[in-house]
Structure 1
Amino acid sequence: MESSENRNRLLRQYRWFKCEELKKSPFHFLFASESHLDPKPHQINAFCTAVDAIKTGGIVLADEVGLGKTIEAGLVLSYMRKSGAKKVLIALPASLRKQWELELDDKFNLKSVILDRLTVEHDAEGWYKKLTDESFLIVITSYDYSSKLMKRFPDVKWDFLIIDEAHNLRNLNGTKRAKRLHELSGGIPKILLTATPLQNSLMDLYGLVSFIDPRIFGSEQMFRHLYMKDENYDDLKRELTPVLYRTLRKDTADYMHFAKRICKTADFELSQDEIELYKRVNQFLKRDNLYSIPTSNRGLVILVIRKLMASSSFALVETLEVLKKRLEKLHEGTRSADAQEGFNLFWSFVEDEIDESGFEEIEDADTAAQKTCIQDELDEVNAIIDAAMRVKTNSKVVALKQALENGFSHQKNNGIAQKAVVFTESKRTQNYIAAELRKSGYSEEDILQFNGDFDDTMTKGIYRAWQVKNPGNTDYGRNVEYKHAIVDYFKENAKILISTDAGSEGLNLQFCNMVINYDLPWNPMKIEQRIGRCHRYGQQNDVVAINLLNTQNEADKRVYEILSKKFELFEGVFGASDIALGVLESGTSFEKMVLDIYQNCNTPDEFEREFDKLDRKLNAKGYKNVRKLRDILITESSGAKKQALERTKENIDRYLQEVTYWDKVPSMDPVNDLQYWEVDDWGEQTVGAHGYLFLGAMYNNVDLLFPALLLCDHEGRYIDFDEDDLVPELEKIDDSAIRYFKPTAEESTLFQEININLGSEMLDRLEKQTEPVREYNRRKIENWIRIQSEQIEAQRQEMLAEVEALHNEERTSSSFYEKMDLRKKTAQKEKELEVFQASFPERNNRFRTEGEREIAEFNKNLETDNPMLLIKIVLKF
């Protein structure tokens, strides 16, 4: 629409109705002043898709990592608030509660409250009032407490539910928290957020979609029968399309800049002392019996020791001291329940739950033989400690110094800030690295250590300084505030951040483009998280991932090769391959596979053979089954996705153009009563005839649904000109050409008839707006009816098979009494089958009746209570 200086009264009258419509558009919430966002096309597309999906139960937003699922959910949340929602519940891992509270406040200006059992029970009556009143309230809580809160206050009407990291709740039969929340949240519109809606089994999708609406797939048995038995994936994708939205990073490449990853290795060789230490520890960990490690947790503790052995000799000594103390106590005759001092050292190194009861196992009565074995093991541990103490400098740290020197030189030459983040799994190694780097000439201010403990003098000082500089941002919670302070200090002052994995969670370091894995985890997910601290949206430079590699160790080299080539962790634009990571049930499963190889192989040939097997296993599992499963998530082709994003951009552009256009039209209060205006010559120029223009809006009671600008010829026949056709023509009318007129009796009658006809036209338009939603709901429920009928038939087939099996058993039996018993059982089963078959018509009719009732109720809820076309101005031309 072109701008015009001559803004006549017709446009000014229509402006009021049009601006009211624009305020109701979902796009209005995207560009509202209280939001501090510039949403990307895929986020807007996800938002629009979710807004529609909420009407029929909800959706799974499953964008790949780093594309802003939280922003998408926040946009929907803002929309729900403006649309009248009062109570919103957000369920997520406990560790993410504060992060969500801050993001909602910072990005959407939405205040929320974090609730847990202690908070609620401290003032149960007060919280009941807050949860049941008419005010708007966003509640953030953990998975476990979300269902407890709903059960604690069953009167609360939750209008909307968001579940973050929803893959944690995909197993409805496996975890109580998933089952409880699923049962209690039925009927509440919801959005589920997860980057991994499908890992290894289609049942993952079944669990997630059942949260949205259990009728989509029916029973677990029928889901397996319909989609898994014959790999009927085309039908499955069709059912997923309305309830799962997924964007891949490659889909956004046209408008989002992702820096590349560049891989480099810093090779080193162990000294003779380090080789001796490695051999001693390796032999020790392969002993058949280890009294120093509780049997129930042996695999996990051995994994930790191998991680620490790869980290540094100094980290290893601390661990061996723990084993030594346990052995000494056991040798003294102390029960193992009292011999676990120091074992909390292992807790932070494993993702699995450690069975603490395993440390309390009761030993048999002490015997001389046991004491001899314990003493033998103690002697070996002492020998390892002595060997570790002889190592004064680790060869790996020399390689680190050279890698930093090369990296900083490259950054300086290319005008990039000299920054590097060094990751290690051990606090002891962290301290060792810092000390060695300071010996090499780096200043105190150059080096920053972070492990999440916040207890060292430097970190406390940085935090206090940050509080002074940020007086308005110090109500985030200690954990979050410390991380803000660390990131700010690293960005403005330090050159090197040495961090553990525990400390790195939640750190956004896109201003740093060098990541060094001092020790390389075997868990691909953990490596991806490390590099993802720097390789994320907003990173302007290519990210260099440097891995320190022991070239003498063939096993280490093979692990690195798999992590690099198979999982595609270190090269490319988009990070770890979605397909490759999908091979694993979790990163820890790969860790355990690698640990088994290290534990059970002794010769180079054995290592080579087992790693070749692992490689083949990943190939077979990953690039056939997993790729096929991953493709199910892509419910539209890359081309279709691109077109959808382009359409969204076009719709946004059109919306913004309309807002700009109507903002420039001077405002004017709408006329109170129906008015009749007349203008000469305009009609012949516009439509080549005389007629009438009707200006007003379609209402539902007092709520404006959409404006109406309707054209009829002189006989009252509707002419299908839309707003885009008419507004430019209205611009040509000058106020001085408009005059009032009084309709004749014939015209009054004609206007009444026209009003009725136009009202029907607007009702049809209203019907078309809701038709896609009604049609999808009808199809979903009719599909559910069909699934119920198929389930009944499947039960019938099972009963027939049982009867046939009994007949066969009777025919082959040689015992008279056994035959008589089988005949009796067969007769009973046949009677049950007959009764079951007789119930078919009644059952099917019941399902059909129930389904039709639900369809009717749904359609009724979409209907407007009192739709009417309200005409304010009739323009005669």
Structure 2
Amino acid sequence: MAKSKTDQKKQKRKAKKKQVKTSKSQQTAREKGWVHYEDARYYFHINNIDKALKFLNKAVKALPNEEDIFQLMGHIASSTGNELLELDAMSNLERIGKLPDDMKIEMVYKLLKFKKHKECKKKAGDVLENFTKLKIKDKKRIKEQIKSIQEYCLSMIRREEYEKNLNAMICRSNQPKQQSKPKPEPKPSTKDQTQKKALKPISQPPLSPKVPDIPITYKINEDTFFNTLLNPEPVGPEAYELALMSHEIRFAESFENLICLPSLIRVKSFWYQEETAKKVLKRFRGRALLSDEVGLGKTIEALIILTEYIKRGMVKTALILTPTPLVSQWKDEMKSKFNMDIPSTDDPGFKSASRTFWNEPFVIASINQAKSKKNYDMITSREYDMIIVDEAHHLKNRTTLNWKLVNSLKKRFILLLTATPVENNLMELYNLITLLKPGQLETATSFREKFMKSGDPTDPQNRTLLKDLLGQVMIRNTRALAGINIPPRFAQTIRIEPTKAEKEFYERLEALITSLNAKKKGRAKMVIKNLLAQAGSSPKAVESTLTRMLEKEDYLLDYEKEIRAVRNLCRTTLDTPKNMNLLKIIRATGEKIIVFVKYKGTIEHLAEFLEWNEISFSLFHGAMNNHQKDEAIEAFKDQNQILVTTEIGGEGRNLQFCSRMINYDLPWNPMKIEQRIGRIHRIGQENEVQIFNFCATGSIEDYILDILDKKINMFEMVIGEIDMILGRIRGEKEFSDIVYDIWVNSENKKDRKDSFANLGTRIKRAKTGYDKTRELDDKLFGDTYEL
């Protein structure tokens, strides 16, 4: 019977209610799933792994197809070393189509490690089938590895099947044959029983005799055996790669030994730096605040940790953030000491290729560039295995874009470097630790209640508890612990009055520069800056730049005549007052001296002068190959009195046998001056270091020295302190740019003098602030967080 319309409507309403109820139930389940996910994240960040996994499992059940869930599973697995869980995360990401290409390769290795040969063979086949589409590096080598793994797994599967069949046969042969149950015979009649009694009993057949054990003996052909050991045959690259892989897997299980150290041929690491790296790797799991005292080498510590992770295959992407003036320093350090040539925001082609630049696996960037509107979203949208932030005290305020940028970055490991974690308030420390390990110091409100005294934001209460919490993420080595005891250094400024010809040269050059600055309106900044710096070195250095300007048509129309006139004045004699002062020091000391210069033209000028005066010398500059450089250093050590070198002088080489140096010219960047001094004033130096600074009276270098020497006694500071001071006044501007702007924008000499005096006052104030911060940090931390 057909249903009535009323019944049909009731059935539809009932179905609709059921659908709504199911939808609401699913929505509620999803919401609960995300709550479980957030709970798992929280417990992971406070290092309660058991609870994190408990809530993560609930989230997986409620949200089986969400990428974020399995990404978190992977992070927990890698931080705890749970490789089975990591494999589970990879499998689920693959199931939902979100497994990155490099992880597909990693998954093959994991399956091989856990001897899941069938799964490994299948996965290797899938990878090889789609290999041309994979976006990975070193494809040729990896493809050969995957092929070898596939073949190995196939052989292991066959072996396992053979062993399984063999074991089954052995089991069957060892089992006694079960006799079939005899059928019940019919009950015999009385007649049959009588006949049976009359029959004789039949005897049982004799049992077969027991098979005796066959003795087995082994005999080794010793000649063949030892010949194989002593004269091994070479194997192919595939077997070699597999052997290396097995060693990497083995060493990756422990951080007792740093496998990167043998490759650090250009840097000498100290025991406390190596122990710091081990502690960060083993106990802190790659998240740490490195707060060593100034001059102990936090950069080296961070780069040892980064290199170790790279060697173990645990870091394949990294972002290094620094203040703008330190970008080139980090790039030079990584290239010269760690043999890593990494793109940076200081590179000439950075702006034209900025979008592709941020996709590079390793990047050194100024935090100013990283947080800009055009770059912020690109950087925060991708994932990094490691983040390193230098001068991390610039992140002390969580309301700033600096803090928000670092907090938003997706990172597995993070290192924050600063010698002054607290400058004004304990909340600055809370903000830094929260970037490393959210929840480590609980909420901001509870941190204030537990650890901050009312009335004094720098004096903590509950010090023991705070010490325990900080000790899980912070290392602060002191100079006393490191055992660094370097003899003092002394500096002497030698102001040189220029001759009449030199004065004319300086005046004509300055007139040319003023004209260029007025008409070019900033477009000639680099040329002007170079000319001013070269003038402080030697006329010979200026000559080469003027020659290049004449070759450019851009300058010929308006300036050709003046450029040629100034260039003619560059051809001075060797017996300049500057050279005479140099000769006086050389002959007075009779000791070995390093003479630092910036420009090749000045090197040629000095080489001619020293040769004319029969002074033995070696030259060291960037145009020489490594063999020539080694020979130059050896000749200086064993024979020659003088080493004339450019900024790279002796990088990575032991020059502590020399304790005298002359800054023939003076870089405008104080960090460059400090790097020169650091070539000889370092661990291993046994004598007092004497520094002579040359400058022409009234020159830019004269003003710079007046600020650095008279105002803040830079030459008596510890290596690294000058940068801590300048960082307080320069913001994102290079010190050399500050000097340049004062020089070219001053209307007259009085204006220039006042501007430099104002800069000196700012730097002196910054030094006072730094001294107070250092005292505060010593009071708060002291030697509490040493190794």
In the alignment, residue 623 of structure 1 is paired with which amino acid?
Answer: T
Flag the 1:182–1:490 CA change in 2: closer, same or farther, 3 A. farther
Matched, 1:245 2:472: no
Q: Alignment partner for residue 50 of structure 1, among 275, 280, 286?
A: 280
Q: Distance in 1 between the 2:404 and 2:699 partners?
A: 46
Q: Matches of 1:211 and 1:431 in 2, distance apart?
A: 52
| CA distance in 1 between partners of 2:514 and 2:652 (Å) | 37
CA drift at 1:635: 7.0
* Residues 287, 492 of structure 1: alpha-carbon distance in 2 compared, 3 angstrom cutoff: same
Q: Is 1:583 equivalent to 2:728 in the alignment?
A: yes
Matches for 1:48-127 after TM superposition, within 5 Å: 50=280, 54-55=284-285, 58-64=287-293, 66-69=295-298, 72=301, 87-89=314-316, 91=318, 95-97=332-334, 101=338
Q: Distance in 2 between matches of 1:587 and 1:530?
A: 23
- Using the alignment, how far apart are the partners of 2:342 and 2:517 within structure 1? 48
Match of 2:761, as an amino acid?
A: R
Please say if residues 53 and 59 of structure 1, whose CA atoms lie closer than 8 Å, have aligned partners that are also in contact.
no
The residue aligned with 1:305 is: 531
1:432 aligned partner, one-letter code: H
TM-score of the two chains, using structure 1 as the length reference: 0.46
8 Å Cα contact 2:618/2:635 also seen in 1 = no
Is the 8 Å Cα contact of residues 260 and 574 (structure 1) preserved in structure 2?
A: no
Report the Cα distance in structure 2 between the residues aligned to 1:204 and 1:194, rounded to whole angstroms.
Answer: 12
- CA 1:94–1:180: 2 relative to 1, 3 Å: farther
Equivalent-residue separation in structure 2 for 1:324 and 1:402 (angstroms)? 37
Match of 2:690 among 541, 544, 547: 544
Instruction: Report if aligned partners of 1:267, 1:548 keep a CA contact under 8 Å in 2.
Output: yes
Q: Is the 8 A contact 2:669 2:735 kept in 1?
A: yes
* 2:547 aligned residue: 321
Shift of 1:434: 1.3
After superposition, the Cα gap between the structure-2 partners of 1:447 and 1:583, relative to the gap in structure 1 and judged at 3 Å, is: same
Please say if residues 259 and 573 of structure 1, whose CA atoms lie closer than 8 Å, have aligned partners that are also in contact: no
Separation of aligned partners in 2, 1:81 and 1:331: 52
Query: Does residue 599 in structure 1 map to residue 744 in structure 2?
Result: yes
Structure 1 residues 598, 50: CA separation in 2 closer, same or farther (over 3 Å shift)? same
Give the C-alpha shift of residue 437 in structure 1: 0.8
Change (3 A) 1:306 1:70: closer
From 619, 633, 645, the equivalent of 2:764 is 619
Q: Distance in 2 between matches of 1:33 and 1:278?
A: 51
State the partner residue of 2:241: none
Are 2:661 and 1:434 aligned? no
**Which of the residues 516, 519, 522 maps onto 2:668?**
522
Report the Cα distance in structure 1 between the residues aligned to 2:306 and 2:514, rounded to whole angstroms: 55
Partner of 1:384: 566
Distance 1:95 1:507 in 2: 15
Asked if 1 retains the 8 angstrom alpha-carbon contact of 2:491 and 2:715, the reply is yes
1:283 is aligned to 511
* Amino acid aligned to 2:488: K
Task: For residue 546 of structure 2, give the secondary structure of its aligned residue in structure 1.
Answer: helix
Q: Could you tell me which residue of structure 2 aligns to residue 532 of structure 1?
A: 678
Contact 1:60 1:192 survives alignment (8 Å): yes
Q: What is the distance in 2 between the residues matched to 1:449 and 1:81?
A: 33
The CA deviation string for residues 707-745 of structure 1, in whole angstroms up to 9 with x for no partner, is: xxxxxxxxxxxxxxxxxxxxxxxxxxxxxxxxxxxxxxx
Give ranges in structure 2 of 5+ residues lacking alignment: 1-250, 321-329, 345-359
Deviates more, 1:30-39 or 1:521-530: 30-39
1:448 and 2:619 equivalent? yes
Change (3 A) 1:220 1:268: farther
Distance in 2 between residues matched to 1:260 and 1:582, nearest whole Å: 25
The farther-off stretch of 488-497 and 530-539 is 488-497
Picking from 656, 675, 678, the partner of 1:510 is: 656
Structure 2 equivalent of residue 501 of structure 1 = 647
**Is 1:271–2:444 an aligned residue pair?**
no
- Cα displacement (A) at 1:511: 2.7
Q: Distance in 2 between matches of 1:321 and 1:33?
A: 47
The letter for the 1-side match of 2:290 is: L
SS of the residue corresponding to residue 282 of structure 1 reads helix
1:59 Cα offset (Å) = 0.6
1:406 maps onto 2:632 in alignment: no
**Conserved 8 A contact 1:114-1:140:** no
Which secondary structure does the structure 2 equivalent of 1:283 belong to? Answer: helix
Matched residue SS, 1:389: coil
Q: Is the 8 A contact 2:309 2:315 kept in 1?
A: no
Q: Is contact 1:513-1:534 (8 Å) kept?
A: yes
Once the two structures are TM-superposed, the CA of residue 570 in structure 1 deviates from its matched residue by 1.9
Amino acid at match of 1:441: E
**CA shift in 2, pair 1:209/1:308, >3 Å:** farther
CA contact (8 A) 2:549 2:555 kept: no
Cα distance in 2 between the residues matched to 1:382 and 1:597: 27
Q: Deviations over 1:447-495 (max 9, x none)?
A: 2231x223xxxx57x44xxxxxxxxxxxxxxxxxx6x665455434543
TM-superposed CA distance for 1:39, in Å, is: 8.4
SS at match of 2:734: helix
Alpha-carbon distance between aligned partners in 1 of 2:745 and 2:334, rounded to the nearest angstrom: 42
Give the alignment of 1:640-659 within 5 angstroms. 640-641=783-784
Structure 1 residue matching 2:485: 3-state secondary structure: coil
| Residue pair 1:46, 1:245 contacting (<8 A) in 2 also | yes
The alpha carbon displacement at 1:562 in A equals 1.4
The Cα of 1:547 is off from its aligned counterpart by 0.7
- How far apart are 1:608 and its partner, in Å? 3.9
Write the letter of the residue equivalent to 1:617.
R
Structure 1 residue 541: Cα displacement: 1.6
Gaps of 5+ in 1: 1-22, 103-112, 118-138, 333-373, 412-417, 464-481, 649-877
Given residue 245 of structure 1, which amino acid in structure 2 is its aligned partner? I
| Aligned partner of 1:213 among 432, 437, 449 | 437
Deviation at 1:518, TM superposition (A): 0.7
2: CA distance, partners of 1:214 / 1:101: 32
In the aligned structure 2, how far is the partner of 1:199 from the partner of 1:526? 26
Determine if contact 2:595/2:663 at 8 Å carries over to the other structure. yes
Pick closer, same or farther for the CA change 1:223–1:278 going to 2, 3 Å: farther
Q: What is the CA–CA distance in structure 2 between the aligned matches of 1:235 and 1:422, rounded to whole Å?
A: 50
Contact preservation (8 Å) 2:663, 2:691:
yes
Distance 2:428 2:495 in 1: 41
Larger Cα-atom Rg: 2
Secondary structure in structure 2 of the residue aligned to 1:311: coil
C-alpha separation in 2, matches of 1:391 and 1:521? 24
Q: Which amino acid in the other structure matches residue 453 of structure 1?
A: A
> In structure 1, what residue type is equivalent to 2:521?
T
Quote how far apart the aligned CAs of 1:546 are.
Answer: 0.9
Q: What's the CA shift string for 1:16-35, capped at 9, x where partnerless?
A: xxxxxxx9xx9965999999
Q: Which amino acid is the alignment partner of residue 559 of structure 1?
A: I
Residues 413-492 of structure 1 mapped to structure 2, 5 A cutoff:
418=592, 420-443=593-616, 446-450=617-621, 452-454=622-624, 459=625, 462-463=627-628, 487-488=633-634, 490-492=636-638
Aligned residue in 2 for 1:777: none
With a CA cutoff of 8 Å and minimum separation of 6, indicate the structure with the bigger relative contact order: 1
TM-fit CA distance, 1:308: 0.7
